[in-house]
Structure 1
């Protein structure tokens, strides 16, 4: 197992990012994703303001002390975090007041003018998950709700423009998971239009199943097809992802994915043992974390 004490207290090159998966529920059902629940779990810790405050204070106390002068960033993830609506905005405001920079990764389906107006002032980074353009490909992946409604990229672009007007310092990042259903897609036009500071291209990680697993050839073909975007493209193969993310689950436990076996490893609840003790129970590599932020298209070789 990768040891979390390997280099936790490090001279930071990229500020540490803690990904709090506030819910496993999602209105989409992407085949590669671990989030298979359509209904919200009443046990999600974010529903309890006191527990949320205690969790964020514990995380900040530990990770702020482990950094060398940079603010840790708390990334709200899911499932689809915007399913928590006003609770999410309140948690973001709390995180900022405690001392975090704040970001979110969302499928974009819940972005409305009112939501963006509340969300944008709290964020240092807006992350969007965009895997395809063609309706048939979106359907094959599962990027649609139960009424077969899919993301309208034109409307999404307007919401991104609105967020940038409200918060000119906002950074945009786009995540794309390459899988068997979309490896042949060309996203050059949409990425160019949205103009993210970073486009993260991830190879589908078979944590739950291998139904949409992509071959080496297919993954390389997708990356090569988008070589004109290499200035913003950051490529992550499966080994790059394992052990390089700091992740907290909806009930407030650190967890880490496995490369050689399905499923995850979990820590005890952070609120029971504290962030330092809990983090020591899961694998994490600071070197791999920093490597992801230095990673470019050149890492994928034939």
Structure 2
């Protein structure tokens, strides 16, 4: 069609008009493309995959023992800060398997990068009072993963220690003494969806109780039972999956608690910016898990362009919230089960 237009009645005026039109299109496209640049406001950095537990549904399994050098970590974190990061969450694996490195990371992010929020998510078994007292000033939020207050259930899931509840209360008390926001993470699966956790949650009184629907991720927890038997690093979450109705049943039983926030699979899959041990972004959404190139190699924005991040779901689940420990803890509101979560914490 364009050839017909050019061949018939083509004049210098037509050429000028077409040139202006093309330039206009390029300017509009350029603005739109620039507007789509992702700002990594909140990042979850899983700097290790190693763990001392064997949670059957783990979606970030021990596929590698790699841990970046301190220099690489600092360079990556600085790149993220320059790209707009305001909050960092250190996770694993189990981050407290590396106490000195974790302390270094928290201090660097708070003192040198001056991030608004530094948080940690842990299974709690390796947390000590001495470490918290020494490094608490660099931490805004400390989250502990606990899926049941019944030890038999914890054993079935792979988190059993015999003293989960006792340790939870200890960590809660240490956080209170230092003004750190205490958070709880619970994954709901076939073993615990009927459990009534109201009384213990009220006693613990966490700043946030984040409730997740167990997530199936191809390439992470999709191994066959035989493979799991042969390798402690592999996981099979198929038998632990629950329906949306089962998840809602649990939510409806606990939604009246002031700290309760829920996250079904529809919000969880691609709404987190996850950085792995090689400082690559991971996309745990639909299909097989995808990995970007390292931000140390291609930079933050190029790496982000290589994965899908659902910014709408991030906002819908309340990815931005009062995440600094100097903010009043009673500012939260009760959350409902489903996609309307207003202030849900990041994991």
- TM-score category by the smaller chain? 0.7 to 0.9
Q: Residue in 1 aligned with 2:99? A: 85
Q: Residue in 2 aligned with 1:44? A: 67
Q: Deviations over 1:147-196 (max 9, x none)?
A: xx344312321222122212x2x222211110111111121122112212
Matches within 5 A, 1:144-163: 144=160, 149-163=161-175
**Rounded Cα–Cα distance in structure 2 between residues aligned with 1:268 and 1:176:** 31
Relative to structure 1, the CA distance from residue 163 to residue 227 in structure 2 (aligned partners, 3 Å threshold; closer, same or farther) is: closer
Tell me the TM-score normalised to structure 1 length. 0.84
Q: Deviations over 1:87-118 (max 9, x none)?
A: 11111111112122200011111111112213
CA apart distance, 1:8: 3.0
SS at match of 1:211: helix
Is 1:8 aligned to residue 38 of structure 2? yes
Runs of 4+ deviating beyond 6 Å: none
Matches within 5 A, 1:275-290: 275-290=300-315
Contact kept, 8 Å, 2:190 with 2:242, in 1: the verdict is: yes
**Rounded Cα–Cα distance in structure 1 between residues aligned with 2:293 and 2:34:** 15
User: How many aligned residue pairs are there?
Assistant: 274
**Rounded Cα–Cα distance in structure 1 between residues aligned with 2:62 and 2:163:** 19
Q: Residue in 1 aligned with 2:234? A: none
**Greater relative contact order structure (CA < 8 Å, 6+ sep):** 1
Matches within 5 A, 1:10-25: 16-25=41-50
Relative to structure 1, the CA distance from residue 246 to residue 84 in structure 2 (aligned partners, 3 Å threshold; closer, same or farther) is: same
SS at match of 2:126: coil
Q: Residue in 2 aligned with 1:68? A: none
Is 1:176 aligned to residue 206 of structure 2? no
Q: Deviations over 1:13-48 (max 9, x none)?
A: xx932000011111111111034439x81x211xx1
Q: Residue in 2 aligned with 1:99? A: 114
**Rounded Cα–Cα distance in structure 2 between residues aligned with 1:164 and 1:52:** 29
**Rounded Cα–Cα distance in structure 2 between residues aligned with 1:141 and 1:6:** 41
Tell me the TM-score normalised to structure 2 length. 0.74
Gaps of 5+ in 1: 10-14, 65-71
SS at match of 2:206: coil
Relative to structure 1, the CA distance from residue 75 to residue 5 in structure 2 (aligned partners, 3 Å threshold; closer, same or farther) is: farther
**Rounded Cα–Cα distance in structure 1 between residues aligned with 2:144 and 2:267:** 20
**Rounded Cα–Cα distance in structure 2 between residues aligned with 1:5 and 1:180:** 43
CA apart distance, 1:5: 6.8
SS at match of 1:174: strand
Is 1:256 aligned to residue 314 of structure 2? no
Relative to structure 1, the CA distance from residue 34 to residue 298 in structure 2 (aligned partners, 3 Å threshold; closer, same or farther) is: closer
**Rounded Cα–Cα distance in structure 1 between residues aligned with 2:61 and 2:104:** 26
Contact kept, 8 Å, 2:144 with 2:168, in 1: the verdict is: no
Gaps of 5+ in 2: 1-32, 223-237, 320-333, 341-347
